[in-house]
Structure 1
Amino acid sequence: MRAPSAGRTTAERGRPRLLTVFLPVLLLAGGAVLDYNTSPHFSAEAFYTAAPMTAAALLSLRATVLAGVGACAVDAALLAHFGFLDDSGGRSELAAVATVSALAVIVNRLMYYSDVRLQSARAVALAVQRAVLPEPPAAIGPLRIAVRYRSAAKDAQIGGDLYGVQATPYGVRCVVGDVRGKGMEAVKAVDVALGAFREAAEEEPSLVTVAARLERALVREAERRAGIERIEGFVTGVLAEIPYSGDRVSGDGLRLVNRGHPAPLLLHEGAVHCLEPSEPALPLCLAEPGAEEGRTDTVVFPPGATLLLYTDGLTEARDRAGVFYDPVVALTGRAFPAPDALLDALLADVGRHAGGRISDDMVLLAVTRGR
Structure 2
Amino acid sequence: MERYQYEHVFGRIRWSRFLPAAVLLTVVVIEIAWPDFNTFPLLTAVPVIAAPLVSLAWTITSGAASCLIGALLALREGQVSFTRSEYTALASIVVLTVVAAFLNRMFARERKRLKTTREVAEAVQRAVLPAVPDRVRGLAVAARYQAAQEEALIGGDLYAIHDTPYGVRMVIGDVRGKGMQAVTMVNTLLGTFHAAALQLPDLPAVVRGVEVQLQDVKSRPGETPDEAFVTAVVAEISPDRSTLRMANRGHPAPLMVHRGTVTLLEPREPSLPLGLGDLAGPDVPVDEFAWPPGATLVMFTDGITEARDRNGVFFDPVPALTGPLPPKPGAVLDAMLAALFRHTGELDDDAAALVVTHVPAAGAERDLSAAPRVGGS
What is the TM-score of this pair, normalised by structure 2? Answer: 0.71
Paired residue type of 2:61: L
| Cα distance between partner residues in 2 of 1:322 and 1:367 | 30
**Aligned position for 2:374:** none
**Aligned position for 1:144:** 140
**Aligned position for 1:6:** none
Cα distance change, pair 64–320 in 1 and its aligned pair in 2 (3 A): closer
Corresponding position: 1:369 with 2:358 = yes
Largest Rg, 1 or 2: 1
State which of 215, 240, 247 in structure 2 corresponds to 1:219.
Answer: 215
Cα distance change, pair 15–260 in 1 and its aligned pair in 2 (3 A): closer
Cα distance change, pair 27–68 in 1 and its aligned pair in 2 (3 A): farther
- 1:129-156 Cα offsets, whole Å, 9 max, x none, are 2122345223224111123446667345
Q: Spell out the pairing of 1:295-334 with structure 2 (5 A cutoff).
A: 299-312=289-302, 331=321
Q: 1:239 deviation in Å?
A: 1.7
Higher relative contact order (CA 8 A, sep 6+): 2
Whether the 8 Å CA contact 2:254–2:265 is kept in 1: the answer is yes
Cα distance change, pair 116–254 in 1 and its aligned pair in 2 (3 A): same
| Cα distance between partner residues in 1 of 2:53 and 2:309 | 33
State which of 79, 83, 89 in structure 2 corresponds to 1:82.
Answer: 79
| Cα distance between partner residues in 1 of 2:153 and 2:116 | 13
Range 156-165 or range 214-223, more displaced: 156-165
Paired residue type of 2:246: L
Q: 1:127 deviation in Å?
A: 0.8
**Aligned position for 2:190:** 194
| Cα distance between partner residues in 2 of 1:18 and 1:154 | 20
Whether the 8 Å CA contact 1:11–1:59 is kept in 2: the answer is no
- 1:194-227 Cα offsets, whole Å, 9 max, x none, are 2322333333343333222211221122123679
Q: 1:175 deviation in Å?
A: 0.3
Corresponding position: 1:53 with 2:48 = yes
Give the secondary structure class of the aligned counterpart of 2:294.
coil
| Cα distance between partner residues in 1 of 2:188 and 2:354 | 20
Q: 1:161 deviation in Å?
A: 3.3
Whether the 8 Å CA contact 1:65–1:101 is kept in 2: the answer is yes
Q: Spell out the pairing of 1:92-171 with structure 2 (5 A cutoff).
A: 92-134=88-130, 136-149=132-145, 154-155=150-151, 159-171=155-167
Paired residue type of 2:220: R
Whether the 8 Å CA contact 1:24–1:54 is kept in 2: the answer is no
Cα distance change, pair 18–94 in 1 and its aligned pair in 2 (3 A): closer
Gaps of 5+ in 2: 3-8, 361-377
| Cα distance between partner residues in 2 of 1:24 and 1:329 | 40
Matched residue pairs, number? 350
Give the secondary structure class of the aligned counterpart of 1:303.
coil
Cα distance change, pair 115–13 in 1 and its aligned pair in 2 (3 A): farther
Range 219-228 or range 361-370, more displaced: 219-228
Corresponding position: 1:268 with 2:258 = yes
**Aligned position for 1:234:** 229
Cα distance change, pair 194–105 in 1 and its aligned pair in 2 (3 A): same
| Cα distance between partner residues in 1 of 2:149 and 2:51 | 27
| Cα distance between partner residues in 2 of 1:76 and 1:320 | 41
Q: 1:174 deviation in Å?
A: 0.7
| Cα distance between partner residues in 1 of 2:307 and 2:348 | 7
Q: 1:17 deviation in Å?
A: 7.5
**Aligned position for 1:344:** 334
Whether the 8 Å CA contact 2:71–2:90 is kept in 1: the answer is yes
Give the secondary structure class of the aligned counterpart of 1:221.
helix
| Cα distance between partner residues in 1 of 2:149 and 2:252 | 22
| Cα distance between partner residues in 1 of 2:68 and 2:316 | 61
**Aligned position for 2:206:** 210
| Cα distance between partner residues in 1 of 2:163 and 2:266 | 25
Whether the 8 Å CA contact 1:234–1:284 is kept in 2: the answer is yes
| Cα distance between partner residues in 1 of 2:100 and 2:308 | 42
- 1:214-264 Cα offsets, whole Å, 9 max, x none, are 11221122123679941x4333322222355xxxxx375434334344444
Paired residue type of 1:167: D
Range 185-194 or range 210-219, more displaced: 185-194
| Cα distance between partner residues in 2 of 1:258 and 1:95 | 66
Whether the 8 Å CA contact 1:57–1:108 is kept in 2: the answer is yes
| Cα distance between partner residues in 2 of 1:185 and 1:142 | 36
Whether the 8 Å CA contact 1:313–1:362 is kept in 2: the answer is yes
| Cα distance between partner residues in 2 of 1:74 and 1:175 | 62
Whether the 8 Å CA contact 2:125–2:155 is kept in 1: the answer is no
Give the secondary structure class of the aligned counterpart of 1:57.
coil
What is the aligned-residue identity percentage?
42
Whether the 8 Å CA contact 2:17–2:54 is kept in 1: the answer is no
Give the secondary structure class of the aligned counterpart of 1:58.
coil
Q: 1:285 deviation in Å?
A: 2.6
Q: 1:74 deviation in Å?
A: 5.2
